[in-house]
A and B are shown apart, each in its own frame.
Chain A
Amino acid sequence: MSYVCLWSPRWPIGADFPADLVASLLTHAPRVAVGERGLVWADARGLNGPRLAEALRAVAGDYGFDDVRAGVALTPIAAEVAALHSNAHANGALVVNVKPGTDASFIAPHPLHVLSPSERIAALLSGLGIETCGAFGSLDAESIEVRLGVEGVRLWQRARAEDERWLFAIPARALPSASVEWVEYGLKDPERLVFIINSLAATVCTALVARGERAREMGLVFALGNRTQRTHTVRSSRASAEQKRWMRLVREALDSITLPDAVMGVTLRAESVVESHGAQGDLFDRGFASAVAVEEAFIQLTDDQGDVIVEPENTAHPLLESRTTWRNAMGDGRWTRGEKRRVSRAAGEKTNAEGAEDAEDRTTEPSRHGDGISPEQEINDDELRPELRPSAGHRLAPTIFRPSKKTDRPSFLARHPTALTLQLLPSPKVVTVDVEPRRDHEVPTRYLEGNEWHTIIDAAGPDRVSGGSWNAEYSREYFRCVREDGMMVWLYRGMQQSRDWFLHGWWD
């Protein structure tokens, strides 16, 4: 931070200072403030101070103030002394630049009155024989505090060029924030910290609600006792202005944070916000009234457990366990669209909506076979029972990879929602199997799972699948077997080196 202080003995002070001059000065400096005694301050942070001072003087000269003096320094007091009391002005220099790091030594030879002490302090110091800023600044802080009090300490700090005045008004933050600081003690108790943050969250969330906004993420800034700051960003899966939800997320964040020192201040600020907007209600949707509660529950689950609400994305991989990728159903607002789709289906619009979608799919994606089989038929082909498939002459063989988005429509299941379907074990389980010959192949007759033998009364197969020679080779013989208790299980035998038997799933 560096400051430019401007002063002219001729320009008006206080409220009479010309506002248009300030506006003109702002074309060169990012921040300008009119202070006491006709001092005008400009923020030179990140700028070339002397050059800025010359530019500002030129602007003042356009308004008829040719005798403006300027001081440039890293501290306000040094800039002020440079502008008002520097001996260089007597030599004709109107801009005095105090080199960085020399503020205290620049002030030191000046008499004490450049610090504008009160009459009482000035009389006391004069009685003690202290005449210059350097002499005053060389005293120790404790003796100044004991003898001259708080006012004396502040004057002593200015004499040492330790001036931390806030000259410029802090611009109002665009997004809601709240902060609290304390100096008497350092806070190390997490419960009290949560208590404080809860209060800040109430302020921020109230401001968000008043603005009609919801926050996507909040910044949590800790001012620490070692004069450093730690910032943590807390994100919600859905934008929210609820204090309860943000406090839950903050608590989770605090569980994983280790601060190196005691906390001396906390700031909670909204980092990004979105506008609040409600969904259009549907009188015919029985679930609309509870939609908000469901969304809340989904958000909480997603925040707690990650991608727990899923939907399948299927391919036509020859191995069933490799066909499905579970993706988050909440991502990018897709849950809302899914909900709408379900609502439409409930209202009897399924036929029109999905029919139109299917028609669009058929028209936009050309058939890959040229034999009249549409992609839609090709999808069903994978999932239909044999008698429902197109005739054998129209079928694709062998099974190939097909576009994933086309193959995850269980049209057969839609027509027969109560059909028994295959349930897969998370990973195939090794079992011991007894077999018997059936013409030119072998079929299982019983298998041992755990400590229990299961007798097989019917077995269909083998259904053989092999491939993956380019990455992970597989070769299996599958059997659909009905146990004596009625369960139909899915067994396979690896046809490579081990030739072990595995239990892969069951129909349920």
Chain B
Amino acid sequence: MNSTRTFSRNTILDSVRANQPATQPMPTIPHFHTNKPADPMATFSESIARMAGVVVTQDVPNLDSFLRAKFPDAKVICSAIPEYGGTIKPESLNHWSEASRIDVCILRSPMGVAETGSILLSDIELQVNTIAFLAHDLVILLDPKQIVSNIHDAYENPYFKLRPYSLLMTGPSGSGDIGGIVVHPAQAAKTLTVLLSPAPDAGQRTG
């Protein structure tokens, strides 16, 4: 297959070189900060609500009580955050398909995007990437200070250049494929709840 691959590669590249138009310049891309939201947290909340995500702005002093009250039938709670145990941890999953037995998954996102209501997750937070898709309900902690204005700012995050996997997630899964009617869920998570919660400071985490 290797010699064929090389031949095909060279054939395609030769054809591209022979046919590509005269070089045109790359434009400079502004970040459009003149249109920054006045209140990024409010804009974030409005944006994610449009995508059927739920934002909890009030303080949640006891995460366990919150989860038990919100998801009374949940049996398997997967916690991917150090400050909460849950019933399982991602590293306890032997196969990535096993994430399908998770009822509720709790994670912390390092960044939110006001413009779209998206939250960033990567293989660092997820550890097992399928937990964000196979779990029924997702609860994401997000520090309001870590909400950036727009998608230009979001893609400045080093994750997109360094991590094997990075995800901008915006609401639970949905589809408009049946009769053009938008429904939730589609194939992945049924609900997405964002708790606006300050990140534990570095001192606490390392201490």
User: Do A and B belong to a common assembly?
Assistant: no
Which residues of B are in contact with A by a Cβ distance under 8 Å? Answer: none
Which residues of A are in contact with B by a Cβ distance under 8 Å? Answer: none
